[in-house]
Structures are given as C-alpha cells and as structure tokens.
Amino acid sequence: MVAQVLDLGVDLADPETFTRGDLGAYWRRLRQEDPVHWHPAAPDRPGFWVISRHADLMAVYRDEARFTSEQGNVLVTLLAGGDAAGGKMCAVTDGARHREVRNLLLKSFSPRVLAPIAERVRHNTLRRVARAVLLSECDFAAEVSEHIPMTTISDLLGVPESDRPFLVDRAQRALSSHTAGQSEEDGWSARSDILLYFADLMEERRGHEADDVISVLANARINGVPLSRDEIVLNCYSLILGGDETSRLTMNDVVHTLAGEREQWRLLREGAVGLDTACEEALRWATPAMHFGRRALVDAELHGRLIRAGDIVTVWHSAANRDETVFADPDRFDLARTPNRHVAFGYGPHFCLGAHLARVEITALLEALRRFTSEIEVVGEPARFHSNFLAGFSRLPVRFTRDKAQLSAFAAELRADR
C-alpha cells in the first residue's frame, strides 16, 4: 500500500506539484495509510518525512526538545542545510531565547496596542473593497488584498508614511522571487534594502520608548543585555515574512471560494452565519502556509517509523486541516463550522504571533464584502502562486455586483468624517 502511495509520484519539493491540481486524494491516502511518510531523496536533494495527521502535527510542534526550528522551518531552508537567521529570528529560534524574544514582541501585539491598528484595518478594508466594487471588473489581488497586510505591518513597525511606498516595493520584490520575470538577485537585493532600512530606523529609535515593534526591540534588554543588531532587524523583517503573503492569499482564497459557493455566500450575506465562524472556516479552507518543518535532534519513533537524528520532518497544515478524525465532512466549506480546530496558524511554542491581526483582516474583508456586494463572480483565469510553501492565487479577476444603497451610505459616512 505504501509503495502505491510512493508510486503516485507526487514531489512535494517541486512547486509545480501544487499548481497541477488538487492533492486531496493524496493527503487522504497518506493520513490513512502512511501518516509518517518517507518522501524519497532525489538527485538534487535529500529525502524528508511528511506528517499529515492533525494529532501528529501537534505532537511534533509541541516537542521542541526533539524537533528544532533553528536549522530552518520551511522545506526550502531545511533542504538547503540551514537558515542564516537561526538563533536570531523568533520563528527559527528555540528554547529560552525564543521565549524571551517572543515575550518582547508580544508587547506590540497586546490588545491595547492592537486596538487602533485593528480599527485602521477595518476602515482601510471598507474603503478598498468599496472602490473595487465600484469598478466594473478588477483583479482583486491587485486592488484589495495587496494593500491591506503591508499597511498593517507598517503600522505595527511604526514605519513613517513617507517611507511606506519604498517598503511595499521592496517587500514585493523580496517575497515574489517565485513570480515569473523576477530574478533571484533582485529578491536578495530587495531583502538587503529592507534589512538596512530597519537597521537605520533602529538607530533612530534607540532611547525613545514607544509601542511599535522597532522601538520595543531597539530599547529592550534581556538579563540587562540589549538585543543584537541582527536580532532586531531580522525580527522586524519576520513580520513581513509572516504576515504579508499569508494574509493576502487567504483574502484571495475566500473571495474565490465564495464566488463558487453560492449558498454559503447567501448565508453570510443574510447574516445567518457569524463573521467569527466564517473567518475560521476561511482560514481552514485557504491554509495559505501549506507546511512548516523541523529537523530531528535525536532519534524519535512515531507510528512505528524511526525518524533519525538529523532528518528533516515536514508538517503539512493543508493535510491536517482536512483530517476526517477532527473535522466532520472536511471537504465541505461550511461557514458555520463549530468547533473548528484548524491549525492554519500552527500550534505550540511557535503559534503564529499575528493570528489575532490576521483574523481582524479576514473578518474586515468578509464584513466589507457582505455590505457592498450582492454577488461575486470570477471572470477570468486566476493565476496560482508558484511555491511549495504558500498556496493560493496571485491574480484573481472578479466582478462584484454593487449594493448601491450601502455604497451611498458609506460615501455619506466618509463625507461626514472629513
């Protein structure tokens, strides 16, 4: 049986695998027959383990002592043999140092600091969606979703308004090295521009206490010792890495899904399902970060398979979020689903720091859609993201049917605010 699964010839390291079609049947088979699956080596890369069940994902993530993030937490860096940010950036640091730096970052993610940022997210999303609905047709990715996460991250970092176009431009170039026409060197140079920019801001903010992430990190001390320059700059950059594309892809996915799920759209629009459960289902359905990974520090046994010290272990959120032992009718998009124990944000010590903010963004989008449009149609071929890590659409041509009364009421609100 296992050999048959291997014969399916699915190569999870190859980004093309995810653009070719739905892997639902493959994941179902792995969950049921080979939950700790050995993905064989290829001439250009070593083999790695593939974890597909929800319970096993949680077991690996909570066990930092046996499964480390410090040598990389995604397939690309794990296969390359390590992550230069290991031990410096929160997401790829373990143990006491991880907890200390994460606690510092949490100060900027407290409800008090986030409240005004969340309010701006709502307002910005309403404006962007209203504008998109007024166009006869548009690329939703370019008109709406591209603009929301980076504005939010810039607010968190305290990036001055005048520097934002620069940061957005560099972030796009740094992150879209998988897009056609984008060279690897351009990606590297954009990344180094961002790191240098954060290094300058960090110097400016030393000695000036404030709630934004750069100021918090620049002025923090752990056991009396300031953070290193690399720690500060890389942790600022990690918000862009963690929060931009993941949120954008979820927004694009929910618009695409709602266009095809008319009954669910009707329930949402009529208020028959709540925005909170709808947001969770949108996250489960999209699962924009398909996997994360770890390296085994010691030999470990799981379901009778021996994972050897040094092996790469990949954990597939896209498989765990369809686990039939956890989700009733997992392949059904159900905006009223409760409970919904999805693992789109991971689990354990590295659970997503931006989860609340991402939920604010998705909820704001759902709220704006149901307010301003009565119908969503996909009017052209969407373009899929080319990656073995992130899933979703990079272009999504849509047509919205206007709710004229709501749009006029919103325009009146905006005039009254001026």
Binding stretches for ligand HEM (CB under 6 A): 61, 69, 73, 90-91, 102, 153, 156, 238-239, 242-243, 246-247, 250, 283, 288-289, 292, 344-346, 350, 352-354, 357-358
How far CA 285 is from CA of 10, 85, 247, 330, in Å, comes to: 21, 30, 13, 9
Quote the least distance from Cβ 317 to ligand HEM, whole Å: 6
Q: What CA–CA distance (Å, rounded) separates 342 from 320?
A: 8
Using Cβ positions, the residue closest to ligand HEM within the complex turns out to be 354
Cis geometry, peptide bond prior to residue 339 (ω within 30 degrees of 0)? yes
Quote the least distance from Cβ 353 to ligand HEM, whole Å: 4
Q: Which is nearer to ligand HEM, 100 or 375 (CB)?
A: 100
Q: Is 201 helix (H, G, I), strand (E, B) or coil?
A: helix
Quote the least distance from Cβ 388 to ligand HEM, whole Å: 15
Q: Which is nearer to ligand HEM, 101 or 410 (CB)?
A: 101
Q: Which is nearer to ligand HEM, 242 or 410 (CB)?
A: 242
Q: Which is nearer to ligand HEM, 30 or 114 (CB)?
A: 114
Contact 291, 314 (CB under 8 A): yes
CB atoms closer than 10 angstroms to residue 163: 13
Quote the least distance from Cβ 105 to ligand HEM, whole Å: 7
DSSP string spanning 202-225? Answer: HHHHTT---SSHHHHHHH-EETTE
Q: Which is nearer to ligand HEM, 280 or 334 (CB)?
A: 280
User: Can you name the residues that pair with 300 across neighbouring β-strands?
Assistant: 307
Quote the least distance from Cβ 213 to ligand HEM, whole Å: 9
Signed CA dihedral, 332, 335, 338, 344: sign only: positive
Quote the least distance from Cβ 291 to ligand HEM, whole Å: 9
- What lies within 8 Å, CB to CB, of 160 at 6+ separation is none
Helix boundaries (H) for 287-354: 317-320
Q: Which is nearer to ligand HEM, 279 or 403 (CB)?
A: 279
User: Can you name the residues that pair with 39 across neighbouring β-strands?
Assistant: 48
